[in-house]
């Protein structure tokens, strides 16, 4: 499920080949992961089928934006949102640093928890951004938060097939992601890609989206169209089709 795999020791290499060798079919969620599996398992390409994960697009589309006063914000604020765990992989520090390049009415909502959260809070204080970064913790109303945001961001260093990216593109908001394995192919031609860890470049894309209505609207349309390719119904049908071949 990811382009990064810690099972690299000789024991895991041997055991994985034995275990996977017993399966009639293996399902990978992206072409990138399929390529990695072929190399790792030394198996034939035909044994691995690619079926991307899907999401319930209806839930995202039907969600309603939250009242911004819940966060002590107004309609004048520009809300940036990242939904992810606080880990080195997800790199919430880059969106935090991008705020330094942006006007003071731009705020960042960070949803999630994890081991780097304390370090991120220290960074926010060091940069004087305490009033512009809100740590919301784990939330059960992510679809509504997506609708509340002006721009959705994911600054990961790598991914498998990120469901939060698909949700972001389905939200009707522009989606910006780092150009890394697992995100590049998913987002290219739909949302906006920026170099991994480049806060200044991220800030420039945010500015462009919020100042150029045509660019903004074209990005939203492209994101919505791409998200349709990852519906839950499509994923279930592809799995049923595969099972019927066995």
Question: Which tokens in the block code for residue 209?
Answer: 């989206």
Q: Which candidate, 145, 148, 132, places its Cα nearest to that of 95?
A: 132
* Core vs surface per residue 70-80: b (16+ CB within 10 A) or e: ebebeeebbbb
Same domain, 61 and 38: no
Q: Which domain holds residue 29?
A: 10-50
Mean pLDDT, the chain, whole residue set: 92
Percent of the chain with pLDDT over 70: 95
**Choice among 21-25, 204-208, 222-226 with the minimum mean pLDDT:** 21-25
**Is 236 part of a structural domain of the chain?**
no
Same domain, 92 and 37: no
Mean pLDDT of 72-85: 97
Same domain, 90 and 105: yes
Sign of CA pseudo-dihedral 78, 194, 136, 171: positive
pLDDT reading at 9 higher than 70: no
- Of residues 222 and 38, the one with the higher pLDDT is 222
**Is 239 part of a structural domain of the chain?**
no
d(CA 176, CA 204): 11
Q: Would you state the pLDDT for residue 151?
A: 99
**Is 244 part of a structural domain of the chain?**
no
**Is 218 part of a structural domain of the chain?**
yes
Q: What is the CA radius of gyration of the chain?
A: 19
pLDDT reading at 98 higher than 80: yes
Q: pLDDT category, 12, cuts 50, 70, 90?
A: low
Same domain, 72 and 36: no
Q: Please write the tens of the pLDDT for every residue from 79-97.
A: 999 999 999 999 999 999 9
- Of residues 159 and 219, the one with the higher pLDDT is 219
What total number of domains does the chain contain?
A: 2
Q: Please write the tens of the pLDDT for every residue from 34-58.
A: 888 888 888 888 899 999 889 999 9
Q: Would you state the pLDDT for residue 38?
A: 87
């Amino acid at each position: 499920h990811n382009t990064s795999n810690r099972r690299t020791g000789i024991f895991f290499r041997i055991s994985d080949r034995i275990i996977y060798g017993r399966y009639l079919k293996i399902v990978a969620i992206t072409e990138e992961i399929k390529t990695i599996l072929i190399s790792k398992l030394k198996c034939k390409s035909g044994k691995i089928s690619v079926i991307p994960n899907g999401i319930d697009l209806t839930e995202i589309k039907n969600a309603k934006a939250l009242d911004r006063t819940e966060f002590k914000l107004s309609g004048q604020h520009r809300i940036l949102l990242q939904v992810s765990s606080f880990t080195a992989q997800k790199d919430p520090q880059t969106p935090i640093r991008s705020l330094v390049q942006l006007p003071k009415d731009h705020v960042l909502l960070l949803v999630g928890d994890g081991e780097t959260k304390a370090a991120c809070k220290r960074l926010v204080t060091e940069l004087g951004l305490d009033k512009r970064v809100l740590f919301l913790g784990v939330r059960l109303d992510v679809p509504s938060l997506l609708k509340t945001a002006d721009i959705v961001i994911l600054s990961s260093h790598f991914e498998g097939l990120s469901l939060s990216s698909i949700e972001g593109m389905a939200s009707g908001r522009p989606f910006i992601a780092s150009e890394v394995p697992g995100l590049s192919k998913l987002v290219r031609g739909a949302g906006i890609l920026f170099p991994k860890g480049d806060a200044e470049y991220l800030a420039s894309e945010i500015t462009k989206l919020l100042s150029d209505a045509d660019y903004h609207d074209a990005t939203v349309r492209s994101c919505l169209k791409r998200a349709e390719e990852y519906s839950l119904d499509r994923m279930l049908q592809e799995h049923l089709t595969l099972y019927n071949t066995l």
